[in-house]
Amino acid sequence: MSRPKTENLVNPRDPSGLLPAVRAQMEAHPEAPVQEDLQAREQLPPVTPLRRFDTHRLLPAKYGSNYESVLTRIADSDEHLQQIFELDNATNARLEAEENLRPGITQRELVFNIPHYRIINAAFTHANPLGARFSTPDRGAWYAAFELATSKAEVMFHKSVEFAEVDWREREILQYDEYLADFSGGFHDLRPEAQPEDRRERYTDCLDPASYITSQKLAVELLHQGSIGVIYPSVRRNGGTCIACFRPSVVANVRKGNRFRMTWTPTRTVFAKEGF
């Protein structure tokens, strides 16, 4: 039996075919800018100078530094716990990236010795296996919202999808920590008001509620062109605005905000600040 031809098959994780070239450039010369392609740049969203303080990102509290690890529940002793931690760290994507062992991001791009640097680096190294709206399985991004209500809506939607995938119908109570961050720089802007009138429909597919195919393809091209990130209308909350930052060093002044308790049921989800 003849072997099937593979040279024309499309990688579903990289339909544009650009990711290997971007990765090779980053690994070989991470300090050098990617060569500018003027024709490609004309096809990209416009760049908006942004200076935005106090953007909101909600993360499960279990990832915080002061939260007891779930591994403590299965350890028989302190020595056993240390062995479990060492085993867990051996497959930790963030630690691998900090040792320059991950294909999607280089050690030089990560940040160190600043407040919450592990939280920042984790956003880029613990990528969703299927990718997200503007990130691939090989490289994550820092997602945040301009409004706290938008961040809550995004979390509620994705958590509901997660529970639906395993047909979970029981009441759940989860804790989330709010991380605030500031951004300054030129971000590619997908908001309708930022587009020329004749191009306002060009990026509609990037905001498809049910598909990340087009948006991930755009994200790879933007990375190739040296973009620092994207501003876009929230798909999960009408009127909300989100940001996806592609560069760890651009995520500035990260600090903790409030802790929230999310109570989830199949019919209703409620966020409440702890202590109220």
> Residue 199 is part of a domain; what is its CATH number?
3.90.175
Q: 121 lies in a domain?
A: no
Q: 92 lies in a domain?
A: no
How distant, in Å, are the alpha carbons of 11, 86, 205, 273 from that of 158? 25, 31, 19, 20
Q: Which residue do the tokens 């320059």 mark?
A: 100
Q: 24 lies in a domain?
A: no
Task: Give 115's DSSP letter.
Answer: T
DSSP string, 186-230: EEEE-SGGGS-GGGTTTTGGGG-TT--HHHHHHHHHHHHTT--EE
Instruction: Tell me the average pLDDT across 191-195.
Output: 92
Alpha carbon distance 148, 57 (integer Å): 8
Angle (deg, nearest 10), helices 19-28 and 213-224: 30
Q: 112 lies in a domain?
A: no
Alpha carbon distance 271, 269 (integer Å): 7
- Please determine, for residue 195, whether its predicted confidence score (pLDDT) is greater than 80: yes
pTM equals 0.78
Q: 17 lies in a domain?
A: no
Alpha carbon distance 271, 174 (integer Å): 10
Instruction: Tell me the average pLDDT across 174-182.
Output: 97
- Please determine, for residue 262, whether its predicted confidence score (pLDDT) is greater than 60: yes
Query: How many domains, in total, are found in the chain?
Result: 1
Q: 141 lies in a domain?
A: yes
- Please determine, for residue 93, whether its predicted confidence score (pLDDT) is greater than 80: no
Please give the biggest Cα pair distance in the chain.
68
Q: 19 lies in a domain?
A: no
Q: 8 lies in a domain?
A: no
If one counts every other C-beta atom within 10 angstroms of the C-beta of residue 37, the result is 13
How distant, in Å, are the alpha carbons of 127, 240, 266 from that of 218? 17, 21, 34
Parent domain of 238: 37-67+128-273
The confidence band for 276, taking pLDDT boundaries of 50, 70 and 90, is low
